[in-house]
Structure 1
Amino acid sequence: MKLWHSFIKELKLASRGYYFYIEFVVAIILLAILLTVVPEEFGGKKTEYLHLNLPEAIVQEYEKEMLAEDLDGKIEKVEIKSKKDLIPADLYETEKKKIYIVNSEAEALQLAETERPLLSAVISLDEKGKMHYKYYLQGYESDRLKNLYLIIHNRDTNVLKEKVDNLEVRSLSTSYNILSDRQNVVPAFLTFNGSLMGLFIIAAYIFLDKKEGIIKAYAITASSVWQYLMSKVGVILVTTILTSLLIVIPIMGLQPNYLLLLVLLITSGFCASSLGLLIASFYDNIMKAFGVIYAVMIAMLLPSIAYYVPSWEPTWIKVIPTYPLIQGFKECIVKNGDTTYTLMASIGFLVVGFIIFLIANKRYKKTLAA
């Protein structure tokens, strides 16, 4: 009962300060971005830059094939702005991509460096008169894609296409649906709004109490330090749940597994809040701790890059807690998601959060005794 009364007291006190409403403001901003900025489906076409270092007769054959797939059947003369240069090119536009034919290998390389397209390549003839392909990669491509580039031109493309078309594909689960581009952004937004904002806000609450001498006052009261800390965590969990639902419901409707989502929000929020308590125990005010909090939040955001760029997924990034958290949120909101994965992630956050909370509690007891 003491913990409950402490929680209610902290909730009332928090609701009178502006920190309590920061998460709601952030959630509203994120929701507005999802509804007004992020489209339901991204319609952008992939871009390719090619240089054809080939005899004129072969170049004409290439142009003939590309014109057959061009939307209007005409070559468009364009200029591409790269740094301070204007690079002339021939543009072929299909339903799925834009292909720019440039005049030199140096221009193809420059565009690969400045525009960072899906593909930039030079096509030429080798010493034996066979087609030779040189690709300029960005560095984040997966080994699978690199291997594909190595083998795709060593076999007749018609043979490869025939083999691919004849492959039998069986779906292991017909009930697993695909998220739209807008819905696919939700897991990363939930991670930022919940765990990362909770880490920052709870640290701000602690520093505010330190400034007003509230923490020191616990040294002469009968209340336990852990109850004080847990009541702070409880306030963060309440705001995290409310603001997360504010984002999820308008975008996802009734599709998510809300019970599973609630479990993951509570366990991950508890873990992040405990980490915020631990960080705050080493500093006297938020300005001194800002550098550490900022560094932790940036590190925790790195898995979002791997989430949006699946081809860039180094092994070390899977160690960062937000990596399984983002995937866990995705399993919660997708229809018939992997319940086992989310539950295992929740258990992991609960265990780690409990350990961090015990360390933080010990730290604050030392602070009161000092």
Structure 2
Amino acid sequence: MQKLWTTFVKDARLSYQGIYFYMEIGMAIMFVLVMLFAVPENFDRTQTFYALVEIEALKGELSELVVDGGDYQVELVDSRPALEQALAANRSAAGIHVRLEGQRPVLDLVLQGHESESMKALLRSTFEGAMASQLPGYVNRTTVVSLESTPARLSDRVNILPIYLVINVAFMGLFIIAAYVFLDKEEGVIKAFAVAPVQVWHYLVSKIMIMALMAVVVSTIVVISLVGFRINYPLLILVILTFNVFGSVLGLLITSFFDSMTKAMGALFFTIFVLMFGGFSYFMPWFSPAWIRLLPSYPMIFSFRELLLEQGDVAYVLRNVGLFMALSLLLFIYTNYRFKKTLTV
């Protein structure tokens, strides 16, 4: 252990004299500033509708019915040109024109042209239902059953944080540790382990410890700045360490197959590209096929999300910590074997 500590201290001094650590700090500060001053706490999701209603009896009822939903805002206009002018000024809005044709009310949707067929059908059914509800004898037989009465959610600002943490903890660590290793290869440091009394695994663990320390410092600064002290920080640090070790070991394994950063770039980029698919399911929960849920990034992202929730699923987080610890150990054993085998590469 003394040799490992000596190797770590030496590597730490060299690493923190370089530019990578300060780049990480600088990027973290920029991220915090953007999140605090450019990203609102919650985005405005209110959908605006401009309505031309020629049936006097429906004006008040239609407006009140839709506004009561909370996510809609209806503005009444007095002519078709005014409706089209309002839509031209607000390209995210939609328009409706309610008129009489004979003795029957007719609904015309006036849209921007970029709406999908499913969105058109949703808008049509929404307003047709609103009109039908005003008919004599109408009875609403629709029942709504929610699996979660009050599902927990993060603010829109904090909701971005799990993606950043996974990128910073796992993906950036994968790249930076590769850069450190290839720099040592160019300087002949790794070849020296063939005759040095220090074992190869000392060198590998030393690099992993440096990356873990960097990840804890940078990620904790960001989380405290955006969330404060309301979360379980000991568990957060454990998760950061676990996921960072996995990313670092994966980066070391990839570097063992190449002799320069240039040759390894393709494999590194491809690995990160594949892992990024976990973010799609995070922002689009309806798109979560089995192959995406098997990607390491998927449980990483959702573990950070559970940590940031006020009453998150701690058991889920701990299961993932145990899983990634086991995976990291297996990968490290094989990585150590690869480095011993390629000392002269």
Which category describes the TM-score, using the shorter chain as reference length?
0.7 to 0.9
Displacement of 1:187 = 1.1
Displacement of 1:366 = 0.8
Contact 2:94–2:110 (8 Å) recurs in 1: no
Displacement of 1:182 = 1.0
Letter in 2 for 1:329: F
The question of 1:198 aligning with 2:159 is answered: no
Identity %: 33
TM-score normalised over the length of structure 2: 0.79
Q: Which residue of 2 aligns with 1:16?
A: 17
Q: Please give the secondary structure, in 1, of the residue aligned with 2:94.
A: strand
Letter in 1 for 2:120: S
Contact 2:50–2:86 (8 Å) recurs in 1: no
Alignment of 1:203-242 (within 5 A): 203-242=178-217
The question of 1:302 aligning with 2:277 is answered: yes
Structure 2 residue runs without a partner (length 5+): 68-72, 98-107
Q: Please give the secondary structure, in 2, of the residue aligned with 1:220.
A: coil
Q: Which residue of 2 aligns with 1:142?
A: none
Shift in alpha-carbon separation, 1:168–1:318, aligned structure 2, 3 A: closer
1:20-46 CA-partner distances (Å, limit 9, x unpaired): 322222222221221122210111333
Letter in 2 for 1:11: A
Q: Please give the secondary structure, in 2, of the residue aligned with 1:28.
A: helix
**Residues of 1 paired with 2:40 and 2:81: CA distance?**
28
Question: Which of 354, 360, 368 is 2:329 aligned to?
Answer: 354
Letter in 2 for 1:28: I
Q: Which residue of 1 aligns with 2:94?
A: 99
Contact 1:206–1:280 (8 Å) recurs in 2: yes
**Residues of 2 paired with 1:161 and 1:42: CA distance?**
33
For the aligned residues, what is the CA RMSD?
A: 3.7
**Residues of 2 paired with 1:285 and 1:48: CA distance?**
58
**Residues of 2 paired with 1:307 and 1:278: CA distance?**
27
Question: Which of 113, 124, 143 is 1:163 aligned to?
Answer: 143
Letter in 1 for 2:41: E
Displacement of 1:231 = 0.1
Structure 1 residue runs without a partner (length 5+): 51-55, 81-87, 124-132, 135-148
Q: Please give the secondary structure, in 1, of the residue aligned with 2:288.
A: coil
Letter in 1 for 2:154: L
What is the aligned length? Answer: 318
Alignment of 1:84-95 (within 5 A): 88=84, 91=87
Q: Which residue of 1 aligns with 2:103?
A: none
Displacement of 1:220 = 1.2
TM-score normalised over the length of structure 1: 0.74
1:245-271 CA-partner distances (Å, limit 9, x unpaired): 011001111111111111111111111
Displacement of 1:64 = 7.4
Displacement of 1:122 = 8.8
Q: Which residue of 1 aligns with 2:234?
A: 259
1:223-246 CA-partner distances (Å, limit 9, x unpaired): 100110000000000000000001
The question of 1:270 aligning with 2:245 is answered: yes
1:127-176 CA-partner distances (Å, limit 9, x unpaired): xxxxxx69xxxxxxxxxxxxxx9xx97xx866557634xx69985xx8x8
